[in-house]
Amino acid sequence: MTTYDEAPPEVAQEAMAVPSAVGASVPVFQPRSRYGKHRVRNLIPPIITFVVFIGIWYLYSWSRFDGAAQRRNALPYPHEVITDGFLPLWDESSGLQPILGYMWPTVKVTLIGLSISIVLGVAIAVVMNQSKGMERALFPYAVLLQTVPILAITPLLTQLFGDEMGVRLVVVVLIAIFPVITNTLFGLQSTDRLHHDLFTLSSVSRSTRLRKLELPSAMPAMMAGIRIASGGAVIGAIVADFFFNQGEKGIGYYIRNRQQRAANRPEMFAGTITASMFGVVMFLIVGAITARAIRNWHESAAPRT
Amino acid sequence: MIFMFSARGGRERTSRFSEDMMTDTNTSAVGEGAPATVGDRRLRFERLSMVFPDGTHALDDVSFSVGAGEFVTVVGPSGCGKSTLLRIASGLTERTGGECDVDRDSIGYVFQDATLLPWRTVRKNVELNAELHGIPKGERSRLATAAIELVNLTGHEDKFPKQLSGGMRMRCSLARSLVLNPKVFLFDEPFGALDEITRERLNDELLSLFRSERFAALFITHSIAEAVFLSTRVLVMSARPGRIIGDYAIPFGPDRPHEIRFDAAFAEICGRISNDLKDAHA
């Protein structure tokens, strides 16, 4: 029994960590090669990782659990996740269609929450950058945002914001805003001192300095923050489903629901994998936007030779 | 006479300096060589001193002036306050004593580093100062094109700084300062990071720019040869607190061929300045 209880969260956790784990090996910033074979060569390492991972999954599942039923409850084989989780592709009650149906609210919450985090986070960083006093006044509370255990304050959040869309956004913003604030602030404060002198010589206004110097120069750090935040936002949107029951239910609800009955476990895995893939997609999209925005000038986006 | 200036804000125009300073005699006649007085005085230091808040005494009783068509170079040991001189002239640092007269609206400052904004193309970088001074788009584009041509960067307008060599970056930085056609140019050791050949080529180019534009130049460098080659006058500064301990009028005309560097007279002046510098270190 204990094995049954332990296995799913462990796997879920692993799957949630996938955005960063897979993302790290996905060649986001690899050179745009003119030669197709280089692109193929770039794909080989992550594919090997994937094959090894699936192999370990099979091995663990086969060696750890006796009998098909027990295995299916605890850690079904990968192919079972496909046949019993993702298939049928188009059926209202099981398979991929309900998964995508539950994904949509999660996508919405993630995107809206991330947008709020970016706008608010950059604004707060800009305010902090205005003076040391402002930074001292606000920074401890930004840190507090990060350190307060979201799970522990969910009852409080329910009281304050209800348990619908609004509170889900609050959870996403609580998780996603901190990396945006700290990275943007770091970027703003890393502006070259000589560049500042250059602008001082032209007696520019504070806002011109911000628009034409500090924000562009903070861009790479800011985008790095947004990339971290995008992963956090996905996790926040899913976690919120575990605690708030009203409003549009997302993929978190589906995962939780399919965990309850042993027969539905493959579907739970399918849901978890889909949610993780969404995290990966978010990571890739933000990475692509970053590369596009800074590829001409920043070292991080330079072709590697 | 005293120029009030806050680190970030208000500039004040002064037009008085040309009238009442024309009659000044140069007060810094330390060492040998008669300072050449050419055109109107555009930059003047009078008993300038600088003590930083941490107690560092950077400059002490520095007086000299630079007129139109004069190229004055200050050489001295590291950390002797040479750069502070430029920062005070441009208003980036506020002096603690003495006077500094200059029209701050007409300063071109070339930094140690090219200080190009990496996210802007060459053209957009060259346009920057004009843009920050509110010059309309069409006009600043015209000015930039001219400045880019002046520094021989035509054809590289759409490149980003990281695609340029060190010498090209410095040229771009020069062009950025040239756009506003400043009357006073401050150079803070601009070619220090370049290799010898690039440096000499840029020296040649800067000299021909100086010949055609006739600005007043205050140049900081560690290289004696560079100083003698470019300047109409070379000042030697002592170790901290910086004082002027040598003053050399350079007897070469405005047309200086590249080969003048190997002339006996050239070497002789370099030798004398070098001796002064040895004393400065001591």
Selecting from A200, A219, A298 the residue whose C-beta is nearest the C-beta of B92 gives A200
Q: Is the pLDDT of residue B29 over 60?
A: no
Q: Phi/psi at B251 (nearest 5 deg)? A: -80, 15
Strand order through the sheet with B233-237: B107-110, B184-188, B216-221, B71-75, B233-237, B244-249
In contact, B185 and B178? CB cutoff 8 Å: no
Interface of B with A (CB under 8 A): 7-11, 90-92, 107, 109, 111-113, 115, 117-119, 128-129, 131-133, 160-162
Rounded CA separation B82/B71 (Å): 15
Range scoring the smallest mean pLDDT among A58-72, B9-23, B180-194, B243-257 = B9-23
Name the CA dihedral angle for A29, A31, A36, A41, rounded to a multiple of 10 degrees: -60
Q: What is the pLDDT of residue A17?
A: 39
What does the pLDDT look like over B165-212, one tens digit per residue? 999 999 999 999 999 889 999 999 999 888 888 888 889 889 988 988
A244 CA: distance to closest CA in chain B (Å): 45
User: Which of these three, B158, B181, B204, is where a domain ends?
Assistant: B181
Is A196 near chain B, with CB under 8 Å? no
User: Which of these three, B132, B154, B181, is where a domain ends?
Assistant: B181
| B18 within domain boundaries | no
> Could you tell me where the DSSP H helices lie in chain B?
16-21, 82-90, 122-132, 137-150, 166-178, 196-213, 224-230, 264-281
- Residue B278 is encoded by which pair of tokens? 């040895």
Residue A38: domain span: 7-85+101-301
What does the pLDDT look like over A183-198, one tens digit per residue? 999 999 999 999 999 9
Rounded CA separation A272/A283 (Å): 17
The complex's ipTM works out to 0.81
In contact, B243 and B61? CB cutoff 8 Å: yes
What is the domain count for chain B?
Answer: 2
Rounded CA separation B162/A298 (Å): 9
Closest CA to A22 of A291, A303, A299, A273: A273
Interface touch B7/A216, C-beta < 8 Å: no
Q: Is the pLDDT of residue B239 over 60?
A: yes
| A92 within domain boundaries | no
A296 CA: distance to closest CA in chain B (Å): 7
Interface touch A297/B118, C-beta < 8 Å: yes
Residues of chain A contacting residue B11, judged by C-beta atoms under 8 Å apart: 203
Report the predicted TM-score, pTM, of the whole model to 2 decimal places.
Answer: 0.78
Query: Do B126 and B243 have their domain in common?
Result: no
| B29 within domain boundaries | no
Q: Alpha-carbon Rg of chain A, whole angstroms?
A: 22
Q: What angle do CA A279, A282, A286 make, to 5 degrees?
A: 145
Interface touch A200/B7, C-beta < 8 Å: yes
- End-to-end, the C-alpha distance of chain A in Å comes to 53
Beta bridge mates, B57: B51
Query: Do B189 and B236 have their domain in common?
Result: yes
| A61 within domain boundaries | yes
Query: Do B273 and B209 have their domain in common?
Result: yes
Check the CA dihedral A162-A168-A173-A176 and report its sign: positive
Residue B162: how many other CB atoms lie within 10 Å: 13
Q: Is the pLDDT of residue A31 over 90?
A: no
CATH number of domain containing A271: 1.10.3720.10
Q: What is the pLDDT of residue A305?
A: 53
What is the domain count for chain A?
Answer: 1
Selecting from A208, A298, A299 the residue whose C-beta is nearest the C-beta of B132 gives A208
Beta bridge mates, B64: B45
Confidence category of residue A3, pLDDT binned at 50, 70, 90? very low
Q: What is the pLDDT of residue A71?
A: 80
Q: Please tell me what DSSP assigns to residue B35.
A: P
Rounded CA separation B126/B175 (Å): 6
Residues of chain A contacting residue B107, judged by C-beta atoms under 8 Å apart: 201
Query: Do B92 and B201 have their domain in common?
Result: yes
Residues of chain A contacting residue B132, judged by C-beta atoms under 8 Å apart: 199, 202, 204, 208, 212
| B229 within domain boundaries | yes
Q: Is the pLDDT of residue A103 over 50?
A: yes
CA B160 to chain centre: 26
* Residue B59, SS3 per DSSP: strand
| B21 within domain boundaries | no
Query: Do B215 and B164 have their domain in common?
Result: no
Q: Please tell me what DSSP assigns to residue A213.
A: I
| A34 within domain boundaries | yes
Range scoring the smallest mean pLDDT among A230-234, A263-267, B84-88, B257-261 = A263-267
What does the pLDDT look like over A242-294, one tens digit per residue? 888 787 888 989 998 888 887 788 889 999 999 999 999 999 999 999 988 88
Query: Do B43 and B85 have their domain in common?
Result: yes
Range scoring the smallest mean pLDDT among A20-34, A128-142, B134-148 = A20-34
Residues of chain A contacting residue B9, judged by C-beta atoms under 8 Å apart: 203
Q: What is the pLDDT of residue A25?
A: 42
- Residue B118 is encoded by which pair of tokens? 């990496």
Is A219 near chain B, with CB under 8 Å? yes
| B166 within domain boundaries | yes
Interface touch B8/A202, C-beta < 8 Å: no
Interface touch B117/A195, C-beta < 8 Å: yes
Interface touch B8/A200, C-beta < 8 Å: yes
User: Which of these three, B130, B165, B181, is where a domain ends?
Assistant: B181
Residue B131: domain span: 116-181
